[in-house]
Chains A and B, each alone.
Chain A
Amino acid sequence: MKEVVRKGCTVFSDHGPAFGWDGGLLRKGGRVIKETQLTGEYGAVLEKEQRSFMTGNEVVAWAALAAEADFMYGYPITPQNEIMHYWSRLAPHFGRGFLQTEDEMAAGFAMLGGALVGKKTFCATAGPGNILMQEPIAMAEMMQIPGVWIIQQRGGPSTATVIYSQQELRLTTAGGNGEGLRIVYSTASHQELFEYTIKAFNRAWQYRFPTFVLGDGYQAKLREAVTLFRPAAKGWTLIPAEPLVRGPGIPALDREPVHLRNTFNIEEELYARLEEQLAAYERLTPEVVEWEVEVGPETEVLLVAHGIVARAAKQAQKMLNQQGQKVGYFRPITVRPFPGTALRQAVGANPNLRLLVVESAYGQLLSMVKAELYGLTNPIDTLLKPGVGVTAEEIVATVTKRAPKEVCHGG
């Protein structure tokens, strides 16, 4: 079986046509676009669809522009700073906004304010900033206020380092004081950073659960070629943002006032609300999950990795198969919701299949994999390097040695 399950962006909305590149902005907010020649030149970058040589952070800024994000609220933290730098360079030319706030909590809550009044808002953070950001994300989760968060993971815990790390997987997928009702895409290339950032905006405003693009310092700073484009040119329909408060009409005269809260009195009231949300999340899961898998009946070792490490894993798989080893590959693209059914299918048919879970963290992906494979007895080997990069050669060496470290329990 070799399949890549990615969900298209074309089917999301019947809310009418997408906003146009220039005129749409004027229609949307009545804002005056600075009609300089540069604006046209910047716009043309997306129109031309040329290959561009960029860093990952720049890609995200362009993707937010292409997704017609209205406003970024940001607070500096390495390694995501250039997202703010490039957004604040580009945004004025397109009538978009930027505010540097006093901290990540303010950035997150300001995002929610902007989304409440009907604008597409986003921010980017990392590490300790991601921790602070969990507070507004929890409110977004409870009140189903849409928003897009770009997480460029850094090493942890605490301040630590800024490049190689997948240690924010657990925080990003399950942070906050609730059930982690979020959508999280883990990207592995600049092209994916561009496309999944656009997709994240659509998912966020379609399902109204907090939506994340989980990158890392390496992707943020890596330079590689990418093709930027306008979503409409690919037939992707952008879902427009709708105001949750301050919609049309005069409250009390034309309509009821909108009063939103996240506080409840009794457990049953909260439980009823959560049941609804959990059911909604269960419904969206099959629509949203994405993965890549290459496995066959003869496969002996299945490499499991996400994000940038999956790129090394794929390379390792190729190298090992060239050596005559029978190695497969599984990569969750959505790490929340996790493509558990697909993983179980890939593993379950073959009780002799060994897994090798590889990550730049100490078992954060591993615990997700184990939870999904509960009851199966396939051995699980690991290559866990918290806060350190993983090369294809290391994966090859680990497979070649085949030293079992972890075994899946249950049965």
Chain B
Amino acid sequence: MADEKSTVVREPTKNPNMPLSWRKETKPHRFCPGCGHAMALKALGEVVDELGILDRVLYGCDIGCSLLSWDFFNFDSVQTHHGRTIPVVVGAKRARPETIGIAYMGDGGGYAIGAQHLVNAAQRGDQITAILANNTLYAMTGGQLAPTTLPGQKTGTTPYGREVRKTGSPLQGPELVAAIAPAGAYVARGTVGEYQQLKGYLKKALRNQMEGRGFSFVEVLSTCPTNWRTNAKDTWAFLQGEMARYFKVGELRVPEPAAPGEEE
């Protein structure tokens, strides 16, 4: 079994909706109401519990809103500089390969300032799991253009809307990683709009690492009502509409043969 080394059995908790991996003391979380991070992190916590790997995880986050996840979990974590989550987790994984390295980042961290790290960890086949929340802008610094900003989308630094001719088209991250990662990579794009599907992708991404197959990458389409200036209805509509039309949800790379127990 892939996870035979796992030592942590989920204990019955008083609140069955709160994963053991979630740190009660830091809940409620400090993300904005409607923020996609909370959903993505909840899914991640549940998956870590289901896989029983709490004691093996090193969780890395950077600065950007993902910073607020630094004490979100009950597993060990380190917060690093903007964009440098991947090299920190790669360094730890290389030094102690039994570590389950999870690098959590936003689209600015993964696709702009730290793009070289994503590209090179992917092409080296580093056995870590990178999770990237795509909300189409820089949220913590006040809503600026990100590589993922949609054409025409207004941000703090594209006040008249993103002009593709001047600032390019939104980066297709999973497509990029899928194109360059060697055999054994798992690459998917999920969305906080499809929770069970997202959980399944995250689980496969972690299993892929546990089985030592290769680089694992999940982009999560996420929401930022605060910077989008949207109410609940419009937030959902943007996520499921414009974003989902441009960024196609699904699995891009699934290593063969599929491991048993992946059919969720």
Residues from chain A with Cβ under 8 Å of B95 in the complex: 70-71, 97, 113-114, 117-119, 121
Given A102-B119, A106-B120 in contact, is the A139-B75 Cβ separation under 8 Å?
A: no
Query: In angstroms, how far is the closest chain B Cβ from the Cβ of A91?
Result: 12
Query: In angstroms, how far is the closest chain B Cβ from the Cβ of A103?
Result: 6
Interface membership of chain B positions 66-94, coded 1 if the CB is closer than 8 angstroms to chain A and 0 otherwise:
01001101111111110010111111111
| A245 adjacent to B76 (CB under 8 Å) | yes
Q: Which of B97-147 contact A (CB under 8 A)?
A: 99, 116-117, 119-120
Query: Is B40 positioned at the interface, with any CB of A under 8 Å from its CB?
Result: no
A114 to B89, CA, bound (A): 8
| A117 adjacent to B96 (CB under 8 Å) | yes
Residues from chain A with Cβ under 8 Å of B80 in the complex: 109, 112, 139, 262
A189 to B226, CA, bound (A): 59
| B70 adjacent to A261 (CB under 8 Å) | yes
Interface membership of chain A positions 53-70, coded 1 if the CB is closer than 8 angstroms to chain B and 0 otherwise:
000000000000000001
Query: Is A101 positioned at the interface, with any CB of B under 8 Å from its CB?
Result: yes
**Residues of chain B at interface, number, CB under 8 A:** 40
| B58 adjacent to A110 (CB under 8 Å) | no
A116 to B77, CA, bound (A): 10
Residues from chain B with Cβ under 8 Å of A135 in the complex: 81, 84
Interface of A, secondary structure class, is mixed
Query: In angstroms, how far is the closest chain A Cβ from the Cβ of B18?
Result: 12
A110 to B78, CA, bound (A): 12
Query: Is A251 positioned at the interface, with any CB of B under 8 Å from its CB?
Result: yes
Residues from chain A with Cβ under 8 Å of B251 in the complex: none
Query: Is A258 positioned at the interface, with any CB of B under 8 Å from its CB?
Result: yes
**Which of B21, B58, B70 contacts A117, CB < 8 Å?**
B58
| A114 adjacent to B92 (CB under 8 Å) | yes
Given A113-B91, A139-B81 in contact, is the A257-B96 Cβ separation under 8 Å?
A: no
Give B90's nearest chain A residue, CB to CB.
Answer: A110
| B54 adjacent to A99 (CB under 8 Å) | no
Q: Which of B1-44 contact A (CB under 8 A)?
A: 7-8, 20-21, 23
Residues from chain B with Cβ under 8 Å of A99 in the complex: 90-91, 94
Given A251-B55, A259-B71 in contact, is the A110-B77 Cβ separation under 8 Å?
A: no
Residues from chain B with Cβ under 8 Å of A252 in the complex: 20-21, 23, 54, 74-75
Interface membership of chain A positions 85-117, coded 1 if the CB is closer than 8 angstroms to chain B and 0 otherwise:
000000000000101011101111111111011
| B79 adjacent to A109 (CB under 8 Å) | no
| B8 adjacent to A263 (CB under 8 Å) | no
A110 to B55, CA, bound (A): 21
| B74 adjacent to A113 (CB under 8 Å) | no
| B58 adjacent to A116 (CB under 8 Å) | yes
Give B7's nearest chain A residue, CB to CB.
Answer: A250
| B94 adjacent to A114 (CB under 8 Å) | yes
| A251 adjacent to B84 (CB under 8 Å) | no
Residues from chain B with Cβ under 8 Å of A273 in the complex: none
Q: Which of B166-196 contact A (CB under 8 A)?
A: none
Give B119's nearest chain A residue, CB to CB.
Answer: A102
| A260 adjacent to B78 (CB under 8 Å) | yes
Query: Is A246 positioned at the interface, with any CB of B under 8 Å from its CB?
Result: yes
Query: In angstroms, how far is the closest chain A Cβ from the Cβ of B23?
Result: 7
Give A99's nearest chain B residue, CB to CB.
Answer: B94
- Apart from A246-B99, A261-B79: 20 A-B pairs, beta carbons within 8 A: A71-B95, A99-B91, A102-B117, A106-B87, A106-B90, A109-B80, A109-B81, A113-B87, A113-B92, A117-B95, A117-B99, A245-B76, A245-B77, A250-B7, A253-B8, A253-B54, A257-B73, A259-B70, A260-B78, A263-B70
* B interface, CB within 8 angstroms of A: 7-8, 20-21, 23, 54-56, 58, 60, 63, 67, 70-71, 73-81, 84, 86-96, 99, 116-117, 119-120
